[in-house]
């Protein structure tokens, strides 16, 4: 359940790395219980934004508040409520997996050993191997365990599934679906595998060159963009189609496939009826929506 009180607030946050404007006047609120999909191309600023939330980066301008504390001044108590899987996958290479898990768990009062055991069994993690000798997929699995083992209130997943094989990815999604059953948990997931992300998220943020292009609920986004397939019941379709806000149109004889924005389903159906057409309406996949939004800004 989404609670009105934001656990992360960013106001006018900007960050520059040399000539690159990594974040450009970002304003956002992340509310408790939201499952957010953070989307964007490489270099869009996703990881930079996430690192500001946990105080690894400090803003050149603006303010970032996490758990009602300035992100620069987060104390162990607040940090103990945040789980973070980072895309570089840095771990303590010289420890064995078992040593690493014991080491990290020693920091957390509420470490869930049952969850740990279940995860190790489900994901087939070898405890004896040195972390440095693990394959990228195995490392990623260990990193995920370390981030979820203490059941954090805020879970930040920066490209968590990039190194996982299809089976592990599907297991990971199941795990996420299990985790999000706790309604108070907030998850921010940044990933390029949008087909996976769309199964779990309820909120979307789309970034491009350090700016947030869209920050809205996933449902509203799905309602905003629709794919309409019109099939004429009496020969070819007329040249002019009486629809507004058409983003894309592909025609082939008696059939046309349209992508439309901000159109009411009922209105579309009425117009199709007037044209003596059969109509099929479906929501766009996240990947299609993402492409449209990003291409509009180019």
Partner 1 sequence: MTALQANLKHFYQRPVMWFWYFILAVTIIPVVILPLTSAWDKSFSTYLIASVFLGIIAASIQKEILTKPFSFCLPGYQKTLRRLFFLIGVLANSVLGLTFIRYPGIDLPYTLLVICGACFMGMAFYMLAIWITLLGNNTFAYIGFAPLVVIGLEAIGIEVGDILEHVIITLPLYLIITSLLFCVFIWRYLGKVSLTRRHCDKVMLGILSNATSKRVRLYLQNKALKKQSKSTVTFNNKLYESFLQRMKKYAFFTKRRYVLGYALMLQDKFLHLWSLRFLVTILLVIVSLGYIGTGELRAIDMLFLLPIAFSFNFNLLPYGSILLPGGRKEKYYASVGLAFAMTLLIVVVAVIVEGLSILLAGILPTISLKGQIYSYQPMNIENLLTCLLLMPIGFVFATLLSKNYVSKTITMIALLFVWSFLWRLVVTTYIWMISALILISWAGFLMVLLYHCMRRSLVGQGKS
- Residues contributing to the site for partner 1 (CB under 8 A): 17, 20, 22, 47-48, 51, 54-58, 72-80, 82-84, 86, 88, 90-95, 99, 102-104, 106-109, 130, 132, 147
Listed in sequence order, the residues at least 6 apart from 297 whose beta carbon sits closer than 8 Å to its beta carbon are 208, 213
Nearest-10 Cα torsion for 166, 171, 176, 178: 160
Which neighbouring-strand residues pair with 283? 226
3-state helix, strand, coil in the chain (%, to 5): 30, 30, 35
**Which residue, 74 or 258, has its beta carbon nearer to partner 1?**
74
**Which residue, 104 or 277, has its beta carbon nearer to partner 1?**
104
Min. distance of Cβ 229 from partner 1 in angstroms? 43
Judged on CB neighbours under 10 Å (0-12, 13-18, 19+), 88 is: exposed
Min. distance of Cβ 192 from partner 1 in angstroms? 16
Min. distance of Cβ 101 from partner 1 in angstroms? 12
**Which residue, 79 or 292, has its beta carbon nearer to partner 1?**
79
**What is the rounded distance in angstroms from the CA atom of residue 211 to the CA atom of residue 208?**
5
Min. distance of Cβ 178 from partner 1 in angstroms? 22
Beta-strand runs (E) in 43-91: 61-66, 69-70, 82-85
Q: What is the largest CA-CA distance in the chain?
A: 72
Which neighbouring-strand residues pair with 205? 38, 215
Min. distance of Cβ 65 from partner 1 in angstroms? 15
**Which residue, 113 or 273, has its beta carbon nearer to partner 1?**
113
Q: Are 198 and 173 in contact (CB under 8 A)?
A: no
For CA atoms 208, 227, 199, 171, the dihedral sign is: negative
**Which residue, 19 or 266, has its beta carbon nearer to partner 1?**
19
**Which residue, 107 or 178, has its beta carbon nearer to partner 1?**
107
3-state secondary structure of 178: helix
Min. distance of Cβ 212 from partner 1 in angstroms? 20
Min. distance of Cβ 196 from partner 1 in angstroms? 23
Residue 202 to residues 35, 44, 69, 84, 218, Cα–Cα distance (Å): 5, 21, 25, 20, 5
**Which residue, 87 or 191, has its beta carbon nearer to partner 1?**
87
Listed in sequence order, the residues at least 6 apart from 220 whose beta carbon sits closer than 8 Å to its beta carbon are none
**Which residue, 8 or 256, has its beta carbon nearer to partner 1?**
8
**What is the rounded distance in angstroms from the CA atom of residue 95 to the CA atom of residue 88?**
18
Min. distance of Cβ 132 from partner 1 in angstroms? 6
């Amino acid at each position: 359940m989404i609670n009105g009180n934001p656990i992360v607030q960013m106001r006018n946050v900007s960050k520059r790395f040399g000539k690159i404007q990594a974040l450009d006047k970002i304003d956002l609120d992340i509310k408790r219980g939201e499952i957010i999909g953070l989307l964007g191309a490489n270099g869009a600023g996703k990881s930079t934004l996430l690192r500001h939330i946990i105080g690894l980066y400090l803003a050149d301008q603006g303010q970032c508040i996490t758990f009602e504390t300035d992100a620069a001044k987060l104390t162990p108590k607040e940090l103990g409520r945040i789980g973070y899987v980072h895309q570089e996958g840095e771990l303590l290479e010289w420890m064995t997996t078992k040593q690493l898990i014991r080491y990290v768990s020693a920091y957390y009062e509420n470490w869930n050993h049952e969850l740990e055991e279940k995860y190790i069994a489900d994901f087939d993690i070898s405890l004896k191997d040195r972390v440095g000798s693990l394959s990228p997929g195995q490392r990623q699995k260990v990193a995920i365990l370390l981030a979820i083992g203490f059941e954090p209130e805020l879970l930040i997943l920066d490209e968590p599934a990039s190194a996982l094989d299809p089976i592990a990815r599907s297991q990971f999604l199941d795990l996420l679906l299990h985790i999000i059953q706790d309604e108070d948990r907030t998850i921010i997931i940044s990933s390029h595998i949008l087909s996976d992300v769309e199964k779990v998220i309820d909120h979307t943020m789309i970034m491009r060159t350090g700016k947030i292009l869209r920050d809205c609920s996933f449902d509203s986004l799905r309602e905003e963009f629709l794919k309409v397939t019109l099939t004429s019941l009496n020969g070819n379709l007329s040249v002019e189609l009486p629809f507004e806000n058409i983003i894309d149109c592909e025609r082939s004889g008696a059939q046309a496939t349209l992508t439309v924005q901000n159109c009411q389903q009922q209105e579309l159906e009425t117009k199709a009826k007037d044209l003596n057409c059969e109509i099929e309406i479906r929501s766009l996949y996240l990947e299609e929506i993402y492409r449209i939004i990003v291409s509009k800004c180019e």
